[in-house]
Chains A and B, each alone.
Chain A
Amino acid sequence: MMKTKLDLGIPHSDLASCVSCGLCLPHCPTYRVTQEESASPRGRIALMKHAADTGFIDEEFVEFMDACIQCRGCETACPAGVEFGSMMETTREALATQTSYQRWWRRVGYRTLGWPNFLAFGSRVLSVLQLVRVLPKKLGLPQIPLVQRKLLSSGNDVFLFTGCIMDAWMRETHRAVQRVVEATGNGVQFPSKAAACCGALHVHAGLGDEARRLAQRTMAAFPGEAPILVDSAGCGAQLKSYGHLLETKEAKQFAERVLDVHEWLADHINELPQKPEKSGRVAVQDPCHLRHVQKSHQSVYEVLGRYIEAVPLDDEGLCCGAGGAYSAFHPDTAADVRDRKLASIERTGAPVVASANPGCLLHLRSAGLEVRHPLEIVDSLIAKDV
């Protein structure tokens, strides 16, 4: 196999922090479905170590690194506190800058995420194709709206981050979130188009420069000190990491203003309307970037639990396989990983699933489940007269 030079750039002490105890293995989705050491956190760290020691990699190495979903379930499981996520991001960035890891068409694809007009246009094309039924269902796309009503600000108590794909395809979710936040008596403000994309997918792909550019642009779109609420767990995790990404004081201050919208609502729980009784049951899927990265998944249960019985899954937050762009590039692994999630959801017996991350939501929906954003459920229950 062809050997290529690579300067990995991960400090030795970080790589050495793994004691190879293996306790993370069962919490890794790709290990779970393959039982391959090379698809495990322990294996991936050992591979990084080998690459760092020798200064060389081969195609196998790239393949093994690319198969990681970057869910960071391994971090939660690791008693030694190994920071796997940042090691994997550094590895991907080294691959993207020093090898042909991200081909030009993929780079162009990622870049369009930061162009709202282009995304809106592309989405309209998709929508028309959907309307004339030429797109196969199994692509798992939501019904994309042909015409988008504008989101209107209602005050300046809090910002709501809108994002790229989510705004283009699921703007009605933002509207429902806005109504729930307003129900606490607070006004919602929307950022300018400059906050077009958080850059999470770029970091995952190793496109660090692009991600840093997007971060600068996004930060500029949120003047003042109002909290910045996020209704997509993946974007929230990324916005919270700007301090680490840019390493400036400004970025750190920005990151401190960011909250997942459920976190903020849990802090304002008594300001939400009351209902005499709870109606029904919903299974709650914990998005990895809420549970393993932001570590704030409990707030979803608090908010949902005020109106409906929120049932946790029994899989300790094992990833569903969506992983941002992962399910598009690794459809087979993503589907195998999802099968475990489906089994876990089925064991709850609940008819509906709540997911606080659009990527997971769409990935699960494409398996035929009814999946809704937690706050869409809350919004409809608040509106219901009982």
Chain B
Amino acid sequence: MVQISTDAKLFEDLEAVLGDRARSGDFELGLYGKDGSVLQGKPAIVCLPLDTEEVRQIVSICRAHDRPFLARGSGTGLAGGAVPVGDPVIIATAKMNKILEVDLDDRIAWVEPGVLNLDLSKELSPLGFHFAPDPSSQQVCSIGGNVANNSGGPHCLAYGVTSAHVVAIEVVLPDGNLALLGDLTAEPRGYDLRGLFVGSEGTMGVATKVAVRLTPNPPAVRTLLLDFADVRDGAATVSAIIAAGLIPAALEMMDKRAIEIVEAFVNAGYPTEADAVLLVELDGLPGGVEHGVDVVRTVAARHEVGNIRVAADNAERELLWKGRKNAFGAVARIKPDYYLHDTVVPRGKLVEVLEKVYNIADAYDLIAVNVFHAGDGNLHPILAYDSNEPGVLERVHAAGRAIVTASIEAGGVLSGEHGIGLEKRDYMGMLFSAHDMATQDLIREAFDPQGFANPLKVLPSGSRCSDSFHQHVPEGAWV
């Protein structure tokens, strides 16, 4: 376990800036030790700043005390990115939750990092716009977290992930200086540092303001639920829809177990007897959408589709999505813990890798649940387990490694959207050569030579050996 050394002088300095928004209570510190993953750590101090200037001062104070820091959004990350290791000061952005400016002419909004993803879209909705990236956690995840993880969501199939919707970012750099990365013009001047920051998981500084792109709400939307008696037909339909030249707004798949647990939560009429379902959404101009519906029907008919349900109204559509978006949490209905992978495989290999996932789970006596962004081949195999069973964690890790191996062998990658964080860090070597990783470390060092920003994350130990913070995931971090 990480040792707790609440440096009194450090706390005093932070308190001078933040007053009672600097915290060191034993109970409270524990609350900032966890995110949506299974990892757990404990921070030294928690800070709850209100604006950029306070963040800047916190970072400067940390620097003066040689203490690492860690930005935290809503703590829903699934890779341990916001889990403190190395005794950092946590900079929680939750109170920085203002929408600062909405510019309909340029179709841009400036927001603070703690604004919740869905709150932003709801606020924009009366104006006819929304923020397109819609992670399943969108009701609670923060824009800062979305930027740091370059998060995706069901509708990113057609609209692109976060990076495509972030124009500029105000950042407090690890040395305490303020920088504006990117600008509002179409072509960036010089290197695209904004692009570098998006997806950097808090290792290049703290985002304090974000300029996001506004996407117009589509004039027409159709949502279809297709059920299949064989998961293979479902997967084949996914490839066939894309091959037919159609890019749906969303194309999601759930297997039998996922359907069962989701239905138990939402009562939306998901077909619990089916082997798999596809949730397909088409949007755009009414004529194009109806044409798309026809294409989906024809293609699916060629692949033994069972029933096709078309949502009659917005309420039915929202209910179906509510089911899909709550799937991870609902896994707790079968087992209290889950470990989630996030690999991407070529669409054509979906069936093959899915079958391997089931076999691996069987071999390690675990339950696998699959609910994922089928349209872009982004698998989310969930291993459900009970951490009270002796020896189960070893099996979960071994099975996880086997799943990652199978995905990479099929030509895939390690993470589609959840990031590397702490949890997937030691898998990096399976995908990248030592040289690749050393190069990535050089980029990180350009932003953060001392390794103060979210230490011990993303890159495995020894990428560039000298760094004092680089060490293995502490044993006690696993719960």
User: Which residues of A are in contact with B by a Cβ distance under 8 Å?
Assistant: 1, 12-13, 16-23, 25-26, 35-38, 43, 46-47, 50, 57-58, 60-61, 64, 78-82
Contact = CB atoms under 8 A, between A and B. Distances in A.
Contacts of B336: 13, 16-17, 19
A47 B265 contact: no
A201 B32 CA distance: 32
B326 A23 contact: yes
B27 A60 contact: yes
A126 to B, nearest CB: 37
B31 A19 contact: no
A106 to B, nearest CB: 24
Given A19-B337, A47-B27, A57-B27, 6 more contacts: A16-B336, A16-B337, A23-B137, A36-B94, A79-B327, A79-B328
Contacts of B331: 19, 80
The range of chain B's interface size is 35 or more
A79 B140 CA distance: 14
B30 A50 contact: yes
Interface string B310-337: 0000000000000000111111110011
B462 to A, nearest CB: 31
B468 interface: no
B75 A79 contact: no
B28 A60 contact: yes
Given A80-B333, A81-B333, A21 B36 contact: yes
B27 A61 contact: yes
B414 interface: no
Nearest to A347: B126
Given A35-B94, A47-B31, A16 B388 contact: yes
A22 B337 contact: no
A366 B464 CA distance: 64
Q: Which 5 pairs across A and B sit closest by C-beta, in order of nearness? A: A80-B332, A79-B329, A79-B326, A35-B94, A79-B330
Contact of B74 (A25, A46, A57, A60): A25
Interface string B242-265: 000000000000000000000001
A22 B74 contact: yes
B97 interface: yes
A8 B141 CA distance: 31
B114 interface: yes
8 contacts: A16-B336, A16-B388, A19-B329, A19-B337, A26-B139, A35-B94, A37-B92, A79-B329
A17 B329 CA distance: 10
Contact of B36 (A22, A43, A61): A22
- Of the listed residues B95, B97, B139, the one surrounded by the most CB atoms of chain A closer than 10 A to its CB is B139
Contacts of A38: 27-28, 31
Contact of A60 (B25, B92, B141): B25
B378 interface: no
Given A35-B95, A79-B265, A26 B137 contact: no
Nearest to B34: A20
A58 B24 CA distance: 14
Contacts of A18: 332
B116 interface: yes
Contacts of A50: 27, 30
A38 B333 CA distance: 25
Contacts of B328: 19, 21, 79
B333 A1 contact: no
Contacts of B118: 26
B36 A80 contact: no
Contacts of A12: 388
Contacts of B338: 19
Contacts of A23: 137, 139-140, 326, 329
B140 A26 contact: yes
